[in-house]
Amino acid sequence: MSNENDDATQLGSIGRHMSKPQQPGNPQARPAFQAPSLPTHPQEQDGDEEGTVLSTHNATPSRPTRPTVPMAQPMQAQPTQSAPTQQPLPQSQSAPVMATRQFPQITAPSVKPAQPAMASSMMSAPQADITEFHELFAQLVGNVSQVVVGKEQPIRQCATAMIVGGHILLEDNPGTGKTQLARGLANSIDMSFKRIQFTPDLLPSDVVGVTYYDQKNGEFEYREGPIFASIVLADEINRASPKTQSALLEVMEEQKVTVDGETHAVPQPFMVIATQNPIEQLGTYKLPEAQMDRFLIKTTIGYPSHDVSVNILKQVNVTDRASTVHAVLTGNDVLRMRAISETVRLDDAIIEYIVRLVEATRHNERIQVGSSMRGALALTRCARVWAASSNRGYVVPDDVKQLAVAVLAHRITLTAEATFAGSTPEQMIEQILDEVPSPTVGATA
């Protein structure tokens, strides 16, 4: 009995952890000295210690700690006293703790699924609107490609300008298909189309319209000019006088025409496609910087490749390719695509990148006049359309790089030294693209 009293004294002083070696040695003595300590220790074990273990390892659900139950069930077969049923819990106390520390996957189900969810929200499958935009854009480009064969890049740029609501300037040598491209784009959309041949004797009233006196009705009436169409082809725009060229300034920027104090809105969507030749400058009038800045994109077509040239000659009987295509989109489709492009995600890093590119054109020693804020807005809007045409709902740096030359090159003016050295605005924009670091948003998003 003295041994039993000593054991009881040791167990009462040391605590419940030291009672585990004594359990198999003397099972009859358990009810005698363990009963007074039961109301406090088992409650602390079940409520406090297990909760502490879970909160320490950030395991919000309490289900993973239930493996202690099957370890305690064999002990419940002992007498109905609470001491034998609760005492094995201290034995299993260290086992769940070690299991929780050795297997950190308890916290993994609550953390790892959240990380792919954040990435998939930016890199997820395209939404229905973006997919619809991509399909309509592909139909338009494919239809116009039947007119100008092998020139997908300038066709995509023209389609981008039309969806944004801007204007495009086609500058290339004669016979490269500038007029065919403009007419093919116009015939691919079920909208009104007018063509204006700019000549030195063309007057502003021949473009915007004129107010005349109707003798039959005895009142003045306004007769609309060819500018009142959804797509207007200004062919050889640099051959008209500056007075006639200035008639396009208001309508290209504000989408309306003012004649004799009355303002008239043009139909929507509205787009001006102008063409000019870089050679044969005799008898031409260079477009001023203010009008050049109103063009969203300036691009060239270039000569076709050898294989494309051979295929064109095999179809020598086709004299007017633009008349062979039919409309695949309507004006409402273009307006809907414009609304979809406005929902394309534009990260702050992309915006910062565009601003740095524009600011670099203003601080370059070989550039006399840098790009305006209109150029930054144009590049931003075109990048969103370019991303949606690639079946993406977000803009990546490559979208900006592919459009920077076409959007910004005609908005800058080089110094005389750079011009005499043979530099071109396109080369300067490409150099700026190499110097300004691009963000990594597209790779990590």
The rounded mean pLDDT for the chain is: 75
Range from 96-110, 148-162, 240-254, 259-273 carrying the lowest mean pLDDT? 96-110
Lowest mean pLDDT among 39-53, 117-131, 135-149, 284-298: 39-53
Q: Residue 246 gets which letter from DSSP? A: T
pLDDT of 163 reads 92
Q: What is the pTM of this model?
A: 0.67
Q: What is the CA radius of gyration of the chain?
A: 39
What separation in angstroms does the CA of 332 have from each of 116, 191, 328? Answer: 37, 10, 12
Query: What is the model's pLDDT at position 262?
Result: 83
> How deeply is 137 buried, as exposed, middle or buried, from its count of CB atoms within 10 A (0-12, 13-18, 19+)?
buried
Residue 119: both structure tokens together: 């990435």
Predicted confidence (pLDDT) per residue in 99-134, tens digit: 444 434 433 334 333 333 333 334 444 688 888 899
Q: Which residue has the tokens 């034995």?
A: 91
Model pLDDT, residue 441 = 55
Residue type, 373: M
Residue 46 in this model has a pLDDT that exceeds 80: no
The one-letter amino acid at 288: P
CB atoms within 10 A of CB 151: 23
CB 333, CB 345: distance < 8 Å: no
Q: Whose CA is closest to 23, among 83, 98, 80?
A: 83
| CA–CA separation, 165 and 321 (whole Å) | 26
Q: Listing from the earlier edge strand, what are the strands of the sheet with 168-171?
A: 193-197, 231-235, 271-276, 168-171, 297-299
Q: What is the pLDDT of residue 175?
A: 81
DSSP letters for 355-418: HHHHHHHHS-TTEEE---HHHHHHHHHHHHHHHHHTT-SB--HHHHHHHHHHHHGGG-EE-HHH
Share of the chain above pLDDT 70, in %: 70
Of 201 and 214, the structure prediction assigns the larger pLDDT to 201
Q: pLDDT at residue 5 above 50?
A: no
Residue 186: pLDDT band with limits 50, 70, 90: confident
Q: Which has more pLDDT, 408 or 105?
A: 408
**pLDDT at 227 exceeding the cut of 70:** yes
Is the pLDDT score of 285 beyond 80? yes
- Mean pLDDT value across residues 411-431: 89
Residue 384 pLDDT > 70: yes
Q: Between the CA atoms of 147, 149, 151 and 152, what dihedral angle is there, to the nearest 10 degrees?
A: 80
Q: Is the pLDDT of residue 51 over 60?
A: no
Chain-centroid distance, C-alpha 111: 28
CA atoms within 13 A on the CB side of 442: 17
Confidence of residue 283 (pLDDT cuts 50, 70, 90): confident
**Band of residue 151 on the pLDDT scale cut at 50, 70, 90:** confident
Higher pLDDT, 194 or 175: 194
Task: Compute CA 94 distance to the chain's CA centroid, rounded to the nearest angstrom.
Answer: 53
pLDDT at residue 12 is higher than 50: no
